[in-house]
Amino acid sequence: MAKTDVLKDIVAKKRERIALAKQALPEEELKQRLIGLSPTRPFIEAITKPRQICLIAEIKKASPSKGVIREIFVPVEIARIYEETGVQAISVLTEEDFFSGNLAYLAEVRNAVKLPILRKDFILEPYQVYESRVFGADAILLIEDLLSRDKIIELTELAESIGLDCLVEVGDEKALKKALNLKVPLIGINNRNLHTLEVDSKTTEKLFTLIPKDKSVVVESGIKTSQDVLFLKILGVNAVLIGTAFMESPDIRRKVEEVMGW
């Protein structure tokens, strides 16, 4: 078990990064860049299909639990393979220090494919919501564990006002209750404990039954095989978010088809 609280370390570093970003590109200038942007692509609509489990395929070079996952890492090439294989949406990890991500990957991927794109990062304040839209995201991840109730309301309302969908991620019953009270349409269940990095697939089993049927649900972390996906499909999950299994594979296309049963 990890000795340190990984999430705490990530957030501390992220706050430094946000401060630097604001110096390089002040918020008012960032907002100006929203003018004239092409419309966002409908993310929630793309990943919620009746009687089908959809795939949000992730692009990431590294992670805190695994280190470097993919040595030869060309986001645009990976995105094109995903699109050709028939995935419904793409997740791009933009966190720099622990996942070797970059905001520039968002813009590159957006220009390369027609699929909706989720920005996966540790979003703490409005600046990053504007940033996500400017750099090409169609949706953002909001991690319940990092945000107060008021902050989630503020960020989801801001996102909506500029055309972004939100995936609100929870990892336990308390977090789920908070998200359900906020009436968010799309809930992510993360099987990974972000503090210890341990994965427990029973998290989904525990939480899914507590979610009303009118909500759309995405399951994240620890999904590696077609059996995992089939189990979640039978459960009634709308979509899975899978990254590591694909990034570790020398043949991404074949791995996607194998895991999804396509």
Catalytically active residues, by annotation: 58, 60, 120, 169, 190, 220-221
Let me know: does 240 contact 53? Beta carbons within 8 Å: yes
**Amino acid identity for residue 238 in this structure:** N
Query: With contact defined as beta carbons under 8 Å apart, do 254 and 80 qualify?
Result: no
C-alpha 198, offset from chain centre: 18
Q: CB–CB of 56/83 below 8 Å?
A: no
Beta bridge partners of 217: 187
- Cβ(91)–Cβ(47) below 8 Å: no
In angstroms and rounded to an integer, the radius of gyration of the C-alpha atoms of the chain is 17
Q: How far apart are CA 127 and CA 42, in angstroms?
A: 22
